[in-house]
Amino acid sequence: MRHILVTGANKGIGFAIAKAILTEHDDTQLLLGSRDAARGAAAMETLAADDAALAERVRAVELDVASDASVSAALSTVREALGGAKLHAIVNNAGAGFGPDGARQALEVNTRGVQRVCEAFIPLLEPDGGRIVIVSSAAGPNFVADCSEERQRFFLDASTEWEDLSALMDEFLADPAAAAERGLGSNPYGLSKALVNTYTLQLARRHPKLLVNACTPGFIETDMTRGVATSRGATPAQLGMKTPDDGARAPLHLLLGKLHGSGHYYGSDAKRSPLHRYRAPGSPEYSE
């Protein structure tokens, strides 16, 4: 049985990933991470309503990636659930847009949250061949493309350490305008995803026996993106948004598909893509 932890799995892309894991792979056991316990329980009820047998292979885990205490408590829950077994994979799906707390919230959830979960749960992963999937965004490469050449080199440098990424976040939060003048760019959401892509490189370097990769799910209709359509007076479909099931395609490939190497970033078509510029789905796969 392959045990898989998915964060932010109670709705949207995370729920689509969770459902596909259970329905398409009967040798899997799902740990359904949710920031809110009630929402996690509701997601389990939805899965059971579709197929009662699925409920036997899923356990809800209260997990707020922005909280050290919550991650620590979730680690104990997962360790108990595993009963000595190992995790096959960690899917870092939980994310935040540009909410009430602005840049700080985006960075705390999208970047620090991924690091917080990975560092806590890596000891529970299968040491040889365990997988880490990071659901990122095309906003990351787009952000890097708008940076100065010096900043671009930083984001592509696998030899950096987490402390370097943390320092860059502090620099941005201290004075976003000044950081932009120094070639960093001004979009906090894009920055959060560019940083988590670089963190993917770092993890792959530090854990060569694991398969660590990131991807963009594409432009997907979720609670996070639906407001974009509303603000533009259009429907999600009119803006080209796809369904959460479509958004699960690339993460599922990184989770259970045949991979060649580690430390890569994939497009929504599950093809390798560059970290420093956008590659449209269906265009030639990146190979450098």
Q: Which residues are catalytic?
A: 189
DSSP the chain: -EEEEETTTTSHHHHHHHHHHHHH-TTEEEEEEESSHHHHHHHHHHHHHH-GGGGGGEEEEE--TT-HHHHHHHHHHHHHHHTT--EEEEEE-----S-TTHHHHHHIIIIIHHHHHHHHHGGGB-TTT-EEEEE--THHHHHHHTS-HHHHHHHT-TT--HHHHHHHHHHHHH-HHHHHHTT--S-HHHHHHHHHHHHHHHHHHH-TTSEEEEE---SB-SHHHHHHHHHTTS-TTTTT-B-HHHHTHHHHHHHHS----SSEEE-TTS-EE-SSS---TTSPPP--
pLDDT score of 55: 84
For 115-131, write each residue's pLDDT tens digit: 999 999 999 999 999 99
Does the global pTM surpass 0.85? yes
* Segments making up each domain of the chain, as ranges: 2-273
pLDDT score of 188: 93
Going residue by residue through the chain, which has 288 residues, state the pLDDT in tens, using 9 for 90 and above: 999 999 999 999 999 999 999 999 999 999 999 999 999 999 999 988 888 888 889 999 999 999 999 999 999 999 999 999 999 999 999 998 755 458 899 999 999 999 999 999 999 999 999 999 999 999 999 999 999 999 999 999 999 999 999 999 999 999 999 998 999 988 999 999 999 999 999 999 999 999 999 999 987 767 667 666 667 777 776 666 688 889 999 999 999 999 989 999 999 999 999 999 999 999 999 988
For 200-223, write each residue's pLDDT tens digit: 999 999 999 999 999 999 877 676
pLDDT score of 223: 67
pLDDT score of 51: 85
CATH number of 2-273: 3.90.180.10, 3.40.50.970, 3.40.50.720, 3.30.2350.10?
Answer: 3.40.50.720
